[in-house]
Chain A
Amino acid sequence: MDSIDVKQKKIHKEYQDLANSISPKSNIIGNCIRAFLVGGTICTFGQLITNIAKNYYDMNTEEASTITSISLIFISALLTGMGIYEKIGKRAGAGSVVPITGFANSIVSPAMEHKREGYVMGVGAKMFSIAGPVLVYGISASVVVGLVNYFFIR
């Protein structure tokens, strides 16, 4: 049996290599440039909101940062609803996935998508199909950090 398995693995490996050699690679340089430009632009816009909040509304850094997140999330939800965010994402890749706007997009898009399955199990449940894991791991990690701080550092 072993020899058949080994032979099978060899065929698979050879085929993988053949498939890899024929399949085109993503245009990484172009993708990276677009991701850099779009991601940078979103962050610069975030900086503008932060500065306005700080300078005109007398907010401290944390408050300004929160209001920046809320504003960007609002804009992203709106653009997603209008079908524009998807078009940006097609070109920008990680540039529009990694900023907080991408997180908002990952909540809005399944929520819209599953509307036809109802507002409870469709919108309400499916909303977190992508963002849920982010909250699970992010919040859990923050609790671990808090506990480590409490027991070992403080």
Chain B
Amino acid sequence: MEYIKAFIIGGLICLIGQILIDKTNLTPARILVLFVTSGVILTALGIYEPLVDFGGAGATVPLPGFGYALAKGAIKGVEEKGLLGAFTGGVVATAGGITAAIVFGYLASVLFDPKAKN
């Protein structure tokens, strides 16, 4: 059951992204920024958490889920460390993902050459 929920929630978030691309001419870079930032804001407003409880990876794997992790980390940081936590919490919570993207990105660029499209 949780797989079906993940499929539906994840699919729906991507569907919203597709409508934005087709209807508004937003570039993918803007879509990514928009989705992460709205994930942060929705989490702060307490709207995203229920979605994560329901959809699991369906809500955490799309980019608003990255925003969710950032916001939740910042809130947790404040609870544990006060003002300092506001600055460290977000990145601490997402450090794994960010580091993986940088390291694997670097490795891939070393190992592979770009290919011409046909």
So, do A and B actually touch in the complex, CB under 8 Å?
yes
Residues of A near any B CB (own CB < 8 A): 25-26, 28, 31-32, 35-44, 46-51, 62, 65-70, 72-74, 77-78, 80-83, 86, 93-95, 97-100, 102-104, 106-109, 111-113, 115, 123-124, 127, 130-131, 133-135, 137-139, 141-143, 145-150, 154
CA A44 to CA B69, docked complex, whole Å: 19
A-chain residues with CB within 8 Å of residue B117 when the two chains form the complex: 86
B51 contacts chain A at the CB level, 8 A cutoff: no
Verify A39–B15 contact, CB threshold 8 A: yes
CA A48 to CA B2, docked complex, whole Å: 10
Verify B44–A42 contact, CB threshold 8 A: no
Interface majority SS (helix, strand, loop, mixed), chain B? helix
Verify A38–B14 contact, CB threshold 8 A: yes
Q: How large is the interface on B (under 10, 10 to 19, 20 to 34, 35 or more residues)?
A: 35 or more
Verify B36–A138 contact, CB threshold 8 A: yes
Verify A39–B14 contact, CB threshold 8 A: yes
Residues of B36-60 at the interface with A, using a CB-CB cut-off of 8 Å, are 36-37, 39-41, 43-44, 55-58, 60
Interface majority SS (helix, strand, loop, mixed), chain A? helix
Verify A103–B86 contact, CB threshold 8 A: no
Verify A43–B61 contact, CB threshold 8 A: yes
Chain A residue, CB-CB nearest to B6: A47
Verify B90–A143 contact, CB threshold 8 A: yes
A-chain residues with CB within 8 Å of residue B11 when the two chains form the complex: 35-37, 39-40, 43, 95
